[in-house]
Chain A
Amino acid sequence: NAGVMQNPRHLVRRRGQEARLRCSPMKGHSHVYWYRQLPEEGLKFMVYLQKENIIDESGMPKERFSAEFPKEGPSILRIQQVVRGDSAAYFCASSPLVDSSPPDGYTFGSGTRLTVV
């Protein structure tokens, strides 16, 4: 029973390039969340998606960032025209239900470490 799978684990991009981060939720989970962690800080909520729907994107920067969770395939977090300040660890989590209780169902992946040079 694989956990939440994120790839790549590490991603290096030059300023101005695009970064695509992928997240495959746990089997049976239809809700995906993306969080960003800057060095030596806690995780900050970005976006919450269900299949083909964005439920809450209140944590997403207004420009350059987008997320999707298509009917088939992984969830994608896309960052266009990356800047050095985008360097961070991006974590995906999944759960089977809204307001999953207990939150044991809210499982994090190992993250993608994005470095912008």
Chain B
Amino acid sequence: GQQLNQSPQSMFIQEGEDVSMNCTSSSIFNTWLWYKQEPGEGPVLLIALYKAGELTSNGRLTAQFGITRKDSFLNISASIPSDVGIYFCAGQTSGSRLTFGEGTQLTVNP
């Protein structure tokens, strides 16, 4: 089946630093999504990308849909303590099922 390789697995940064994480796949996806999950909660959608090469921002978050349609990255600028959580990429081809990456655990030290 389809698999997403997400890296890094974890990051420990200081408040104010920028963060970058990415996902790669051996398969093509038509849509790339980035979610954030906090303890005890379900994933919450941060950014959705629909076209190869698309660059989309949501506040301090920026994400890009790779030209090959096999990768995506998420950047968080000027991190703050409430950015702490697990970030997941997810890809969608046809139908509605999503394939998730294994997540990046982000820790922000004040």
User: Given A42-B101, A104-B48 in contact, is the A33-B96 Cβ separation under 8 Å?
Assistant: yes
Instruction: For the complex formed, measure the closest distance between the CB of B84 and the CB atoms of chain A, giving whole angstroms.
Output: 16
Count the B residues whose beta carbon is within 8 Å of the partner chain — how many?
A: 25
A110 touches B96 (CB 8 A): no
B65 at the interface (CB under 8 A from A): no
Stretch at the interface among A13-21, A80-88, A94-102: A94-102
Selected from A41, A42, A48, the residue in CB contact (under 8 A) with B95 is A48
A74 at the interface (CB under 8 A from B): no
Count the A residues whose beta carbon is within 8 Å of the partner chain — how many?
A: 28
User: Given A42-B101, A103-B31, A103-B48 in contact, is the A91-B43 Cβ separation under 8 Å?
Assistant: yes
User: Given A42-B102, A108-B43 in contact, is the A59-B97 Cβ separation under 8 Å?
Assistant: yes
User: Given A95-B96, A100-B96 in contact, is the A42-B103 Cβ separation under 8 Å?
Assistant: yes
